[in-house]
Amino acid sequence: MADSQLLLKRGPFRSTWLRARKTRTQLVLSRRPRRRLGTLRWCGRRRLRRRLLQAQAAGADWRESGCLVSRAATRRPKTAAPSPAPAAAPAPSGPASLPIPPVRPAGPGRALVLLPLEQGFTFSGICRVTCLYGQVQVFGFTISQGQPPQDVFSAYTHSRLTINAVHYSMPEKSKKEMKREARALLRSHLNRDDRCWLMKNFSPLCSIVMLEQLKTPTVNFLVSHPGLSYVFVQESPTFQINSEHVALRSVGIRREKKKNGLRLTESALSAMEELVTVSCEEVDGCPVILVCGSQDVGKSTFNRYLINQLLNSISCVDYLECDLGQTEFTPPGCISLLNITEPVLGPPFTHQRTPQKMVYYGKPACKNNCENYIEIIKYVFSSYKRESPLIINTMGWVSDKGLLLLIDLIRLLSPSHVVQFSSGRSKYMPNLTPDYVDDMDGLYTKSKSRVRDRGFQLAEFTESLEFADEEKESPVVFTGHKLICVQSDFAFRKTPRNRESHNKVLRDLAVLGYLGQLQPPVPKPLCPLHGLTPYQVPFNAVALRIIHADVAPTHILYAVNASWVGLCKILDDVRGYANGPILLAQTPICDCLGFGICRGIDMEKRLYHILTPVSPEELRNVNCLLVGAISIPQCVFKSQHGLEGTIPYITTDYNFKLPGASEKIGARETEETREEKVHPKPKLYRKIN
Q: Which residues of 369-389 are buried (b: 16+ CB within 10 A; e: fewer)?
A: bbebbbebbbbbbebbeeebb
| pLDDT above 60: residue 26 | no
More confident site: 146 or 461: 146
Q: Tell me the whole-structure pTM to 2 decimals.
A: 0.79
Cβ–Cβ under 8 Å, residues 404 and 411: no
| pLDDT above 50: residue 673 | no
Q: Which residues of 77-97 are buried (b: 16+ CB within 10 A; e: fewer)?
A: eeeeeeeeeeeeeeebebeee
Measure Cα distances from 484 to 295, 306, 470, 561 in Å: 18, 14, 31, 47
* Distance from C-alpha of 573 to C-alpha of 478, rounded to nearest angstrom: 39
* Distance from C-alpha of 28 to C-alpha of 26, rounded to nearest angstrom: 7
- Tens digit of pLDDT for each residue in 99-118? 567 888 888 899 999 998 88
* Distance from C-alpha of 115 to C-alpha of 102, rounded to nearest angstrom: 7
Give the range with max mean pLDDT: 62-76, 130-144, 454-468, 639-653.
130-144
* Distance from C-alpha of 659 to C-alpha of 555, rounded to nearest angstrom: 13
Q: Residue 312, exposed/middle/buried by CB under 10 A (0-12, 13-18, 19+)?
A: middle
560 DSSP β-pair partners = none
Confidence of residue 68 (pLDDT cuts 50, 70, 90): very low
Measure Cα distances from 85 to 28, 59, 88, 96 in Å: 18, 17, 8, 19
Confidence of residue 626 (pLDDT cuts 50, 70, 90): very high
Helix H or strand E encompassing 71: helix 71-74
Low-confidence winner among 17-31, 47-61, 432-446, 483-497 (lowest mean pLDDT): 17-31
* 83-90 mean pLDDT: 42
